Amino acid sequence: MRKDSLMTRVGLFLPWLMIVASAMPASSAAQSLRAAPAPTIEDVDPGVDHTARDKDLPPELRRQSVFYRSEYPPGTIIVNTADRFLYLIRGNNLALRYGVGVGRVGFQWGGIHVITRKAKWPDWTPPPEMIARQPYLPRFMAGGPGNPLGARALYIGNTVYRIHGTNAPETIGQAVSSGCFRLVNEDVIDLYDRVPIGTKVVVEHR
């Protein structure tokens, strides 16, 4: 092909490319140039049992009573996705604080719901949206130590999100999930025993 013919075609194509680029929102254009955000730590595969590592949880992520002012009444659960803590309001400016793993960038959310269901050693059926992103996941996994939902699950409203245990305690304090909140099994059992169905859950994403 002649050089002058190639340059002519490039010259005709460039204005169209500039129009398309200018029509894209700045954020979309930037996102198209980089990979999807990665979790802050690699997650453990379903079926792998790392629950013995609960003992390695750092002191600041362990369940503890803390000073906490809140406008919500005792018994309310507050999840702060930025700080990666879950608070159970106790009254008198006190709360029980639990370290949690939260959704990675792009999968974090906020809102007010209630606990609609509770389950011990729940089975896990990944939702279709998760299967679409991670087609290698099992379509069903019975409850047990290697199950990603861990020892207990508290289901949030009519969403696909849960507060649950984990087979990967090393991910507590990290942003790794698809939007659920995970605690070490000892802590999720403690929370499960303290809160009834109907408990208000406030998710603060800031």
Q: Which residues are catalytic?
A: 164, 180
Give bridge partners of residue 200 from the DSSP assignment.
114
Q: Where do runs of H (alpha helix) occur along the chain?
A: 3-23, 26-31, 128-133, 185-194
Residue with tokens 């290698």: 136
Looking at the chain, the number of H-run helices and the number of E-run strands are 4, 11
b/e string for 46-85 if b means 16 or more Cβ within 10 A? beeebbeebeebeeebebeeeebebeeeeebbbbbbeebb
Q: Where do runs of H (alpha helix) occur along 24-168?
A: 26-31, 128-133
Residue with tokens 């955000």: 37
